[in-house]
Structure 1
Amino acid sequence: MSDDIYQDIAQAYAAAANKAPGLKSRFTAAGFDPATVTSLADLSRLPVMKKEELLKIQRKNPPFGGFLASDLKDVGRIYVSPGPIFEPALSDGGGHGLDLLFKAAGVGPGDIILNTWMYHLVPAGLLFDEAAQAAGATVIPGGVGNTELQAQIIVETGVTSICASTAFFLTLADKVVETYGRDAWKVKTAFLGGEMGDWMAKRRRIEAEYGVSTWAAYATADLGLVAYEDGGEGYLVHPDRVVQICDPVSGEQVAHGEPGEVVVTARDATWPMIRFGTGDSAFALESNADGTVSRISALQGRVGAAVKVREIFVYPRVVEEVVIGTPGAKAAQAVVTRENDRDMIRLSLVLEDGADASAAEAAAAEIFKLHARIRADEVSIVSELPENVELIVNQKDV
Structure 2
Amino acid sequence: MSDPIYTEIAKGYADAAKVASGLKARFDAAGFDPAGVTSLDGLSRLPVMKKEELLTLQRENPPFGGFLAADPRKLSRIYVSPGPIFEPALAGGGGHGLDLLFRSAGMTPDDIMLNTWAYHLVPAGLLFDEAAQAVGATVIPSGIGNRELQAQIIVETGVTAICASTAFFLMLADMVIETYGRDAWKVKTAFLGGEMGDWMAKRRRIEADYNVSTWAAYATADLGLVGYEDGGDGYLVPADRIVQICDPVSGDAMPKGEIGEIVVTAVDAGWPMIRFGTGDSAFALETADDGRVTRISAIQGRVGAAVKVREIFIYPRAIEEVVIAVAGATAGQAIVTRENDRDTLRIHLVVEDGTDRDAASQAAAEAFQKTARIRADSVEFVDTLPENAELLVNLKDA
TM-score, normalised with respect to structure 2: 0.76
AA aligned to 1:48 is V
Q: 1:1-398 residue pairs with structure 2 within 5 A?
A: 3-304=3-304
SS at match of 2:174: helix
AA aligned to 1:261 is E
AA aligned to 2:88 is P
Shift of 1:19: 1.3
AA aligned to 2:39 is S
Tell me the residue number matched to 1:329.
none
SS at match of 2:304: helix
Change (3 A) 1:69 1:122: same
AA aligned to 2:20 is A
Shift of 1:140: 0.5
Structure 1 distance, partners of 2:254, 2:395, is 30
Shift of 1:144: 1.1
Shift of 1:391: 5.7
Structure 2 distance, partners of 1:159, 1:89, is 29
SS at match of 1:249: coil
Shift of 1:82: 1.2
Structure 2 distance, partners of 1:126, 1:84, is 18
Structure 2 distance, partners of 1:263, 1:44, is 10
Q: Deviations over 1:101-156 (max 9, x none)?
A: 00000012110000000111110000000000011111000111111111111111
Structure 1 residues not aligned, in runs of 5+: 307-387, 393-398
Tell me the residue number matched to 1:325.
none
Structure 2 distance, partners of 1:282, 1:233, is 13
SS at match of 1:304: coil
Q: Deviations over 1:165-197 (max 9, x none)?
A: 001101100111111111111100000001111
Q: Deviations over 1:248-269 (max 9, x none)?
A: 0011101111100000000001
SS at match of 2:97: coil
| Percent of residue pairs bearing the same amino acid type | 79
SS at match of 1:163: strand
AA aligned to 2:108 is G
Structure 1 distance, partners of 2:124, 2:300, is 21
AA aligned to 1:21 is S
CA contact (8 A) 2:165 2:192 kept: yes
Structure 2 distance, partners of 1:293, 1:69, is 26
CA contact (8 A) 2:101 2:217 kept: yes
AA aligned to 1:121 is L
- The ranges of structure 1 where at least 4 consecutive aligned residues each deviate by more than 3 angstroms after the TM superposition are 388-392
Structure 1 distance, partners of 2:12, 2:71, is 15
Shift of 1:92: 2.0
Shift of 1:305: 7.4
CA contact (8 A) 2:3 2:39 kept: no
Structure 2 distance, partners of 1:117, 1:261, is 26
Structure 2 distance, partners of 1:37, 1:43, is 6
AA aligned to 1:226 is V
Structure 1 distance, partners of 2:267, 2:92, is 14
Shift of 1:160: 0.5
Structure 2 residues not aligned, in runs of 5+: 307-393
Structure 2 distance, partners of 1:4, 1:161, is 38
AA aligned to 1:228 is Y
AA aligned to 2:41 is A
CA contact (8 A) 2:197 2:397 kept: no
AA aligned to 2:290 is D
TM-score, normalised with respect to structure 1: 0.76
Structure 2 distance, partners of 1:49, 1:223, is 13
Q: How many residues align?
A: 310
Tell me the residue number matched to 2:369.
none
